């Protein structure tokens, strides 16, 4: 496999020096804006496994998402029981929320995939790989032309994080009601 194996080991089981570097990186991440376009991915092993290539038309954006539950802004209008609770269950994971926010900012691009970079008690940081769907080098690449043709992958839950949130990682016995979707099955 080459050098990527050692990069992965350094991230998953860091030595004392690598742990210190990760700690310093986390301090720097807190000072950055919520959305930041990067020159190079932080975890090159994870990015390449998801399809990242160092070529024009493919780039990486880091997104910060706050941890914790989701609250409705205020209870207004009516005294029905469904209006009383302020907590909201999105049925989405943090990674999917990060992908949707980045896709809303970069409207001419499609999300190829994403991975977690760091987390603390307050935030999650994800790096999202984006593909410019109109770039000539993307249209010439047979591996990326299919991704470029699918518009709105994130918002339809087609990315890996979206499929996980929809329960599509399971197959076979016990998951008969997950396909094609929960809403299609009527519950």
pLDDT in tens, 81-90: 766 777 888 8
Q: At what angle do helices 3-12 and 16-31 cross, to 10 degrees?
A: 80
- How much is the pTM? 0.88
DSSP string covering 125-166, please? EEEEEEEETT-HHHHH-TTTHHHHHSTTTTTTT-SHHHHHHT
Q: Is the pLDDT of residue 178 over 90?
A: no
The residue-averaged pLDDT of 95-119 equals: 96
CATH numeric code, 35-167: 3.40.1120.10
Q: How confident is the model at residue 60 (pLDDT cuts 50, 70, 90)?
A: very high
- pLDDT class of 185 with cuts at 50, 70, 90: low
| Closest to 63 measured CA to CA, from 85, 94, 87 | 94
pLDDT of residue 83: 66
What's the whole-number mean pLDDT along residues 129-152?
A: 93
pLDDT at 187 exceeding the cut of 60: no
- Contact predicate 20/27, CB 8 Å: no
Candidate ranges 84-88, 107-111, 176-180; pick with highest mean pLDDT:
107-111
DSSP state of 42: S
154-171 tens-digit pLDDT: 999 999 999 998 888 888
């Amino acid at each position: 496999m080459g050098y990527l194996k050692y990069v992965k080991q350094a991230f998953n089981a860091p030595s004392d020096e690598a742990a210190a570097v990760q700690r310093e990186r986390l301090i720097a991440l807190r000072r950055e804006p919520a959305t930041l376009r990067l020159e190079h991915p932080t975890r090159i092993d994870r990015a390449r496994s998801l399809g990242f290539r160092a070529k024009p038309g493919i780039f990486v954006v880091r997104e910060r998402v706050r941890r914790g539950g989701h609250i409705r802004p205020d209870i207004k209008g009516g005294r029905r029981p469904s209006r009383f609770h302020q907590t909201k269950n999105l049925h989405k994971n943090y990674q999917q929320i990060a992908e949707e926010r980045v896709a809303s900012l970069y409207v001419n691009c499609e999300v190829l995939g994403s991975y977690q970079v760091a987390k603390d008690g307050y935030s999650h940081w994800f790096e999202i790989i984006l593909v410019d769907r109109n770039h000539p080098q993307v249209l010439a690449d047979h591996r990326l032309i299919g991704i470029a043709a699918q518009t709105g992958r994130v918002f339809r839950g087609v990315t890996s994080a979206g499929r996980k949130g929809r329960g599509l990682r399971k197959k076979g016995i016990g998951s008969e009601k997950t396909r094609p979707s929960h809403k299609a099955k009527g519950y």
